[in-house]
Amino acid sequence: MATTPGDEATVEFMLKRWKDPKTGLDNAWREDYKVYLSFPDKTNPNKVSVVDPENRVLFAAREREKAYKPEQDDPEVVQPFAAYSPAGNVKGELVYANQGKMSDFELLNRTLDLRGTIAITRYGGEGRSKKAINAAKFGVVGVLVYTDPYDINDGLVSESETYPHSWYLPPSGVERGSYNIDFGDLLTPYLAAKDDVYRRPKEDITGIPPIPAQPIGFDDAERLICELDGDDAPTEWQGSLNCTYKLGGPGFKPTSPLNNSNVHMDIYNTERLENSANVMGIIRGSVEPDRYVIYGNHRDSWVHGAIDPSSGTAVMLEITRVLGKMVKEGRWRPRRSIIFGSWGAEEFGLIGSAEYTEEYFSKLSERTVAYINVDISVFANATLRASASPAAQSVLFTASKQVNAPGTTTSVYENWIKYFNRTSPNGIIPNVGFLTGAGSDYAAFMHYLGITSMDISYYYDRSKTRARIYPAYHTAYDTFDYASTFIDPGFTSHQAVARTAGNVLVRLADSLLLPFNCSDYAESLERYLSQAVTSYEEKLANKRISMESLKKAVQLFRDTATKLDRLIGDSDLAKETPLKTRRINDQLMLLDRAFLDPLAFPEQYGFRHVIWASRSSSVPTFPGLADAVEKAESTDLKEDWDQAHKHLSIVTQAIAGAAHTLDDVI
Amino acid sequence: MATTPGDEATVEFMLKRWKDPKTGLDNAWREDYKVYLSFPDKTNPNKVSVVDPENRVLFAAREREKAYKPEQDDPEVVQPFAAYSPAGNVKGELVYANQGKMSDFELLNRTLDLRGTIAITRYGGEGRSKKAINAAKFGVVGVLVYTDPYDINDGLVSESETYPHSWYLPPSGVERGSYNIDFGDLLTPYLAAKDDVYRRPKEDITGIPPIPAQPIGFDDAERLICELDGDDAPTEWQGSLNCTYKLGGPGFKPTSPLNNSNVHMDIYNTERLENSANVMGIIRGSVEPDRYVIYGNHRDSWVHGAIDPSSGTAVMLEITRVLGKMVKEGRWRPRRSIIFGSWGAEEFGLIGSAEYTEEYFSKLSERTVAYINVDISVFANATLRASASPAAQSVLFTASKQVNAPGTTTSVYENWIKYFNRTSPNGIIPNVGFLTGAGSDYAAFMHYLGITSMDISYYYDRSKTRARIYPAYHTAYDTFDYASTFIDPGFTSHQAVARTAGNVLVRLADSLLLPFNCSDYAESLERYLSQAVTSYEEKLANKRISMESLKKAVQLFRDTATKLDRLIGDSDLAKETPLKTRRINDQLMLLDRAFLDPLAFPEQYGFRHVIWASRSSSVPTFPGLADAVEKAESTDLKEDWDQAHKHLSIVTQAIAGAAHTLDDVI
Ligand SMILES: [Ca+2]
Ligand SMILES: [Ca+2]
Ligand SMILES: [Zn+2]
Ligand SMILES: [Zn+2]
Ligand SMILES: [Zn+2]
Ligand SMILES: [Zn+2]
């Protein structure tokens, strides 16, 4: 866990590996930030119980997960907790609130007075912190969160069917997590968290739970949910616990031993400023040292973290070992510089990577060609999965065609296209996702810096499981034993990811011409445009707002992309002057940067990329426009339609600006 | 005047010149924006009068300036007006409010009830629009503005001593001007004012007068001020009109024929969207076409504008003629591309240049090496004057050493150092001003884009006049006759400016290594730091805020600047690979960009450069810090000291970030 002695040991380990004289990098060092973290109190554990009117404890939830192997008994296993949940002592009648979405509470609120209640919710459907933020709006005083076996275990609940007998989550397993919305150190938005930097008052932090929250296992959840009184919960709210889920009276049913009793939450989390380190390593570029390819993953875990993050760290270490050896032996040096980052405190909200981008904002913006993120490298061993800026789609295809899928003679690409695919103007291709969220350390690079980024892993066969994520995620069961027995026996998928990501990395660092494809970007913009026209053109026209300029901007982008592609195709760059190649490479490097607008989403920390920013609307199109139109439709206020028009203009100008970046330089 | 037939004729003229097959540029074109402008009503002129209680007019101010030459009789001479002053019909007793500063109104308000009054103020000391904004806070209902002969005419008031007998302002002369605070089109901040872009509601515009304002000549002002009742105005409020200035009763003295009468303002200004054009021209670069040197000036005037802006436009046309001829004859082509801009609607608030930077934000940010602004090229013929980013100081020195001062055999540099100088670590040097304001079209380049900019002109001998500006500024007397008779007979100073600015331009466009000096930048930061430490260290320490990190950041900047200078000195770049030179040039080009923080001054349109942003504090140091400390001292509130700490952190991070830009690239 971040900033613990264990974390410090991994810092030393990484430094030792990256400074190894035979297989290390050119240089390695640590960079420290003083960041705001939240921990449970070891001597005063968080407690969830049911107490009768005389305050006698009728039921107490576990304080730790059950040990099936010595790893779970390690005294350093942190008690399950909701990071950034406030401390507090609250008591109330229980209700079941499904996933804790606004619509869930609204439904409950139709028949129940939620004021003073405790809500139990299941993971999924809504951000961790948002469950508590939503709840508080209805007067709920505390929130419990558990993982329903329906969502994580394909319905399996018994100990005999779960780890260590399978990859499924044991009944006492608890997903820890950071309960915040914004990423980066919460006290220092846009400023690197150095020792004496300005820190805003804690009271100014938004996006964390206003009321106590605590995660529990599904065994304890079952004891609570199956005793509830009240109406049956809707069908979609039912899970795999052994009863019909009810909404709560509020509180427990008359026939229950818990009747007339309250759920009691005693939360003792405390926040502290702690020192968190990034470990950085570099291989100097030979020809263009001032162009960086950055490859990173976080180093901190919640408990042992064999998969999250160490499956990714293993891949990174293998790549650095292979490249480092060639460099040390004088056999190879990349054209561009490669920077490796082992980020700290990701689990608390992508803190290490965000602080790094804040501190080195200018330098990284000026010089970074691409960012590759491999966090959980293997969720499961079925297929490659990738999310990326469209500019990087083609290099992902090229690389994955050169690597064999584990245990086969077909390529990772051919395997991939079987699991994720879509029809493009060039036929069926693997479907590369968009990086619209902030799920891992690519967020600050993609959204804040506008650097062409990608996130790579091996993933599930979705026809075989509907697990939200691999079941041991963020629990004490995410161990080497678990990984090697159930996730990737023989580690062949790890190897496939290392080879694919390494191939991408070397292509980005070594190609004379950057392997970015601006016509693929044009296609993505056209998909978004077509969706926007279908969904919004008529509605906007009714308000006398025209989409013509947006259409023209996308067309201009397409035309300039075609022109640049033709220029590249017609040139023999190896024979051209170095400055001509550099000029084209700069156009490609700066393409994603051209979509940044720091004023487009002033309320959302770090989100400046007007195409890939996260959106609340479910319409897969330009996020600012989608969210603004959705709001305007719901209120029909002039000022909200004005905002829709404004976001239309913002995205239009950004796309036209990006087209100018691709166009003839003069 | 912007968007008039006369303006359109100058657009055609520029295009013709820049497309001339023998002396023109590689290409020239126009770019149009639909911008929000304010005009008086030709058929319904603004009126300022004094009316008695029966509404009989006792005195009426002139509606136009007196004609001494046919130019003033031209029907196209626009009536003097305050652009963006609202239309309105107001009446009230008169008070004299000096320069219309807050402190001026506060002083008046001690003894007078200002509600319902009309205030007469003189130009200077406070922004045009701020005079009315300040006034409205005290209940004043209308503001008159005049130019006091003390401030513009070295005290001379009589027709026999003013133009056409001298360069001084005739009694009926009126300074027109834009009464707004923000620059750029007021309806489209951060969005280029294209046809169907989002335009905010007029009601959302800030920074324009909330009450009617109108400028008048000092002959009319004398009629009003010298009839005032009330106490004598303070000594510093006295001007050169032929009486002792009084504050107003409010209103006129009992012995005056105006006794018991009100000043009446009938303002008929209207706002319209009009089409304004920039004229653009280019010379393509031969080696680095994707690096731009931009040279610009506005094209619009208030009336004839012989000096403002045509003295600058003449210089620009001469430079393009000379360079264009060499290009057309195949004798020369610069290494980098040169872009010339003839901006529209500058007088209304730097609109053409601001819209251009909004539309081409990404491309210009990525590629522009420098911006040179020559607006009024000759204020007077005594000496060069320059304001610039410190990076450009050395190229201004080099260029000015190669040009002779008009009519002498000494250099412009040697002449300059006699009029403006300061002691630097390298001895006495000409004093180059800082570009902290938004006085001309450099504003969007310096403050919004962070492009190394400079503003060049020939200027007064301050021992010979204290005129705020050349007296015919923004009046109908700014004519060719005025310029050639009084400002620069023989146009030799115009020539000196053309040669100096042209020399700078060619050096920027042609040098293998960009002629920017980062150590000069370090010196400027050290001057600001030393001022900040002297003024604030103790006060901040009392609030437990340390300046150590700022000191370290400036030291780091100095160290990396020294290192880069040494690297440059030790290299024979002509023999190095093109990419090594490009790398250093990129570091120098991006130096000013590294100081941008779009969130540092969210209330100030376009200001993102944390070192050179405009500041209200009079302490010449880091603007965000200076203003924040000043506010915190006045309120002593915790949140205001927090803001001071925040601004300290912002400037520290920006300087450290700029140092990273100069440091070894890996
Ligand atoms: Ca931070
Ligand atoms: Ca605009
Ligand atoms: Zn992770
Ligand atoms: Zn995680
Ligand atoms: Zn001007
Ligand atoms: Zn002017």
* Phi-psi map region of B86: left, alpha, beta (phi>0 left; psi -120 to 50 alpha): beta
Q: Amino acid identity of B567?
A: L
Query: Among B536, B573, B367, B384, which Cα is nearest to B451's?
Result: B367
- Tokens for A8? 């410090």
pLDDT at A649: 98
- Tokens for A476? 């004490």
Q: Is the pLDDT of residue B191 over 90?
A: yes
Query: Among A613, A599, A584, which Cα is nearest to A643's?
Result: A599
CB contact under 8 A, B642 and A200: yes
Q: Does A31 touch chain B (CB under 8 A)?
A: no
Helix (H) or strand (E) holding A457: strand A453-459
- Contacts of residue B274, Cβ cutoff 8 Å, sequence gap at least 6: B2, B3, B34, B35, B37
A273 CB burial (10 A radius; 0-12, 13-18, 19+): middle
CA atoms of A238 and B399, how far apart (whole Å): 80
Positions of B marked active-site: 346
Residues of A in contact with B547 (CB under 8 A): none
Q: Is the pLDDT of residue A237 over 90?
A: yes
3-state helix/strand/coil string of A297-341: EECCCCCCCCCCCHHHHHHHHHHHHHHHHHHHCCCCCCCEEEEEE
> How far is residue B437 from each of residues B12, B24, B181, B604, measured CA to CA in Å?
31, 33, 11, 12
Give tens-digit pLDDT for A269-291.
Answer: 999 999 999 999 999 999 999 99
pLDDT at B607: 98
- Residue A195: CB atoms within 10 A of its CB come to 12
Backbone angles phi, psi at B655, to 5 degrees: -70, -40
CA atoms of B275 and B2, how far apart (whole Å): 9
Give tens-digit pLDDT for A368-412.
Answer: 999 999 999 999 999 999 999 999 999 999 999 999 999 999 999
B214 forms beta bridges with: B144
CA of A176 to the centre of ligand 3 (A): 12
pLDDT at A216: 98
Q: Is the pLDDT of residue A118 over 90?
A: yes
- Tokens for A404? 């064999």
- Contacts of residue A329, Cβ cutoff 8 Å, sequence gap at least 6: none
3-state helix/strand/coil string of B243-283: CCCECCCCCECCCCCCCCCEEEEEECCEEEEEEEEEEEEEE
Q: Does B540 touch chain A (CB under 8 A)?
A: no
Give tens-digit pLDDT for A22-59.
Answer: 999 999 999 999 999 999 999 999 999 999 999 999 99
pTM of the model: 0.97
Residue A574's pLDDT band, with cuts at 50, 70 and 90, is confident
Among B199, B366, B664, most A C-beta atoms within 10 A, so best to mutate, is B366
Determine the distance from the C-alpha atom of residue A206 to the mean position of all C-alpha atoms in its chain, rounded to a whole number: 19
Residues of A in contact with B658 (CB under 8 A): 362
> How far is residue B627 from each of residues A7, A464, B101, B539, measured CA to CA in Å?
42, 62, 17, 14
pLDDT at B353: 98
Contact by Cβ (8 Å): A442, A371: yes
* DSSP line for B431-442: -PBP--S-SSTH
* All residues with CB under 5 Å from ion ligand 6: B 308
Contact by Cβ (8 Å): A270, A118: no
* Three-class secondary structure of residue B595 per DSSP: helix
* Three-class secondary structure of residue A88 per DSSP: strand
Residue A150's pLDDT band, with cuts at 50, 70 and 90, is very high
Among B335, B362, B604, most A C-beta atoms within 10 A, so best to mutate, is B362
Q: Amino acid identity of A517?
A: N
Q: Say how many residues make up chain B.
A: 666
Q: Does A549 touch chain B (CB under 8 A)?
A: yes
Residue B90's pLDDT band, with cuts at 50, 70 and 90, is very high
Give tens-digit pLDDT for B232-280.
Answer: 999 999 999 999 999 999 999 999 999 999 999 999 999 999 999 999 9
Angle between helical axes of B518-542 and B548-570 (0-180°, round to 10): 170
Residue B33's pLDDT band, with cuts at 50, 70 and 90, is very high
Torsion (CA) B301, B305, B308, B312 in degrees, nearest 10: 100
Helix (H) or strand (E) holding B651: helix B638-662
ipTM > 0.90 for the complex? yes
Residue ranges of the alpha helices (H) in B464-577? 480-482, 492-510, 518-542, 548-570
Backbone angles phi, psi at B562, to 5 degrees: -60, -45
CB contact under 8 A, B358 and A653: yes
A246 forms beta bridges with: A232
Residues of A in contact with B649 (CB under 8 A): 191, 197-198
Query: Among B607, B567, B213, B557, which Cα is nearest to B437's?
Result: B607
Q: Which residues of A418-440 are buried (b: 16+ CB within 10 A; e: fewer)?
A: ebbeeeeeeeebbbbebbbbbbb
Residue B503's pLDDT band, with cuts at 50, 70 and 90, is very high
Pairing of strands A262-267, A88-92: antiparallel
CB contact under 8 A, A337 and B287: no
Rounded average pLDDT over A209-226? 98
Residues of B in contact with A197 (CB under 8 A): 549, 649, 652-653
- Contacts of residue B563, Cβ cutoff 8 Å, sequence gap at least 6: B662, B663, B664
Rounded average pLDDT over A262-272? 98
Place of tokens 């195409």: A611
Selecting among A71, A126, A271, A346, the annotated active-site residue is: A346
Give tens-digit pLDDT for A79-109.
Answer: 999 999 999 999 999 999 999 999 999 999 9
Contact by Cβ (8 Å): A357, A314: no
pLDDT at A305: 98
pLDDT at B574: 86
Q: Amino acid identity of B180?
A: N
